Every structure is written in C-alpha cells, then in structure tokens.
C-alpha cells in the first residue's frame, strides 16, 4: 500500500483554445475537469495500474465533495479530512502548440485544527505502508515546517517517505531526511540559488539536495527526461514526447518510479515512460497501461554532463 498526502488539493479545469487572445474574447474548443494536486495525481496514476493506494486529502466545501466523487469514479480509495474552506480550482488554458497558461488559486485556509487532523490521519494509515508520498503546495495558514514534521514522525515509524513540493517547504522537508525527493528544474534552481543549464548542473544540484538530507533525488527535467542520484543508483533517461499538456507529468513520473518498488535504473525507465505518456495526454490525465512505451525510453548510467537543457521542466 502506498499512501499519498495532499494538503492543498484542487479541481483542475483544462480549457483548449485555438488561440489565446490577451484582453479579448476566447472561446473554448474543449473543456475537462480532473481531480488535482500532486499527491492526488500520484494516487490516480498508481490506481490506474492496479497499485494499492490510499489518498489522504484535506477537502472542504461542495468542491471537496466533487473532488472525492471524481476520485471514487476511478477507484481511488480516499480518506477525506474535512477543512473549513473549499477546494481550490486551477485552470490551464492550452493552445494548439501545447503552450499552457495556468491560473492557480492559492487554496483555502487550513487552520491549526484541520492541519493536526490531516497529520493524525496520515500517521494512522502509515502503519505497514510501503511508501508515504507527501506532495504539493501548502495551503494558506500552514507553516513551511509542516511537511518536515510529518517526515520526521513517519521516519520514527520506519516508513519510507517521498517528498515533492517547492520553496521553503521543500528545503525544510529535505532537512528532515526523506528517502526520496522529486524536484523539477525550477525547484532545483530554488534550492541552489542559480540557473541550471546542463545535465551536469542538474546532477550537481541534486547532490546538494542529498547533502541537505535527501536519500535519493529523482529530478524531472521535462522534455529532457529525468535523472536519478543517490542510494537507489545514478542514471539518466529520456523518451520522445508529443506533448499535449505537461501538467501532472512529473507526478506520473514519481508514481511510475514508486510502482516498481525496487528503485534503480529499471524504476527510472518506468518513471520516464509514465511521465512521457502523461505529457502526451490531454488535461491532467494520468496514463493507463496501454499509454506506456517503455521501449522508447533511452537510459544511460553515465551522465551526459555537458548536454544543454531545453528549459522546459
């Protein structure tokens, strides 16, 4: 069983337009709504591949009810922790060339009582879990050390923890010593404080995360694939992508890695196959088994240090 934690879930509304006209009238050619938030996306991807998963979410309001209903429709086991405010709604406007313009709400205030209830629910469910995945942004009202506290508590239970967040919450959580951290390129740059232009730069930044406390770093590099640094091994992998919408691709990548259960280069290949498939799907859809092409993943245990990144994380 894998347990995912989403403190700031969302309803993700994806609108396709023929051309985005700033300040003008834009007519949608298609619309879809998906349950969202990084932890929820990881749970969705795992459930579609038959991996036992339970999603713990803080979800309030009518929007929270809709979120739970959407997850139930794809057989995700949801543990809903009531919250005072409604679930946020995020919008992605997608143009024909796959350019995505995003509008993300900050989320509703999560007060101290609700934050404690969420942590208590996670700790109750963690016993015997193969992994606990702490993923996504923190909602307003929650201190940046919240995820770090969860990591420490889970480690005391002997449960392996994967973290995927950003900003101060990422730095604090890494210092707590999670087994796995999944940053993207921008998050790596936030940690090291400078731009990253090559695979070698990304590997060096990943090593800095390990020095801060991460056991293994799985860095998603968008169109440039992903790299692995740490206890699980070192390697780089990429796959061709016909991108429709990259929203959620990094979450699918993390889910694919965890689905293998063993880590290392075989898990990296699976991760990249899942991430590439997600980027090729509309909206924030997660890939199903028939969407995967692991045979197209190119893996290299030797890092192509000097290769320049396309800057599309």
Residues noted as catalytic: 251
Instruction: Please identify which residue in the block is written with the tokens 């293998």.
Output: 260
Our measurement of the distance from residue 77's CA atom to the centroid of its chain's CA atoms, rounded to an integer in Å, reads 18
**Rounded-to-integer distance, Cα 182 and Cα 304, Å:** 20
- Using a 10 angstrom Cβ sphere, with 0-12 exposed, 13-18 middle and 19 or more buried, the burial of residue 195 is exposed
Instruction: Please identify which residue in the block is written with the tokens 């909602």.
Output: 139
Q: Which residues are registered as beta bridge partners of 110?
A: none
Our measurement of the distance from residue 2's CA atom to the centroid of its chain's CA atoms, rounded to an integer in Å, reads 14
**Rounded-to-integer distance, Cα 162 and Cα 292, Å:** 23
Which residue, among 237, 232, 185, 235, has the nearest Cα to 210 in the 3D structure?
A: 232
Q: What sign does the dihedral 275-278-283-285 (CA atoms) show?
A: negative
User: How many residues in total does the chain contain?
Assistant: 313
Give counts: helices (H), strands (E), the chain: 9, 14
Q: Which residues contact 265 (CB under 8 A, 6 or more apart)?
A: 228, 233, 235, 237, 299, 301
């Amino acid at each position: 069983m894998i347990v995912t934690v989403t403190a700031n879930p969302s309803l993700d509304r994806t609108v396709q337009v023929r051309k985005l006209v700033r300040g003008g009238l834009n007519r949608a050619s298609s619309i879809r709504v998906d349950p969202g938030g990084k932890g929820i996306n990881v749970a969705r991807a795992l459930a579609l591949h038959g991996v036992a998963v339970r999603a713990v979410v803080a979800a309030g309001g009518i929007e929270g009810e809709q979120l739970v209903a959407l997850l139930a429709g794809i057989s995700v086991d949801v543990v809903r922790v009531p919250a005072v405010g409604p679930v946020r709604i995020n919008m992605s406007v997608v143009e024909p060339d796959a350019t995505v313009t995003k509008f993300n709400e900050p989320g509703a205030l999560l007060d101290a009582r609700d934050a404690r209830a969420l942590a208590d629910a996670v700790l109750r469910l963690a016993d015997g879990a193969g992994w606990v995945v702490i993923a996504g942004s923190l909602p307003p009202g929650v201190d940046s050390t919240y995820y770090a506290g969860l990591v420490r508590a889970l480690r005391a239970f002997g449960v392996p923890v994967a973290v995927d967040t950003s900003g101060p919450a990422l730095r604090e959580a890494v210092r707590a010593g999670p087994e796995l951290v999944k940053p993207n390129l921008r998050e790596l740059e936030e940690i090291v404080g400078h731009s990253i232009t090559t695979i070698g730069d990304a590997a060096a930044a990943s090593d800095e995360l390990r020095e801060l406390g991460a056991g293994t770093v799985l860095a998603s590099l968008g169109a440039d694939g992903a790299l692995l640094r740490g206890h699980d091994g070192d390697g780089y992998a990429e796959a061709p992508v016909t991108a429709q919408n990259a929203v959620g691709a990094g979450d699918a990548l993390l889910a694919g890695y965890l689905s293998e259960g063993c880590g290392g280069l075989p898990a990296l290949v699976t991760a990249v196959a899942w991430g590439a498939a997600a980027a090729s799907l509309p909206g924030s859809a997660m890939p199903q088994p028939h969407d995967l092409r692991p045979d197209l993943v190119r893996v290299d245990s030797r890092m192509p240090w000097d290769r320049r990144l396309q800057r599309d994380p």
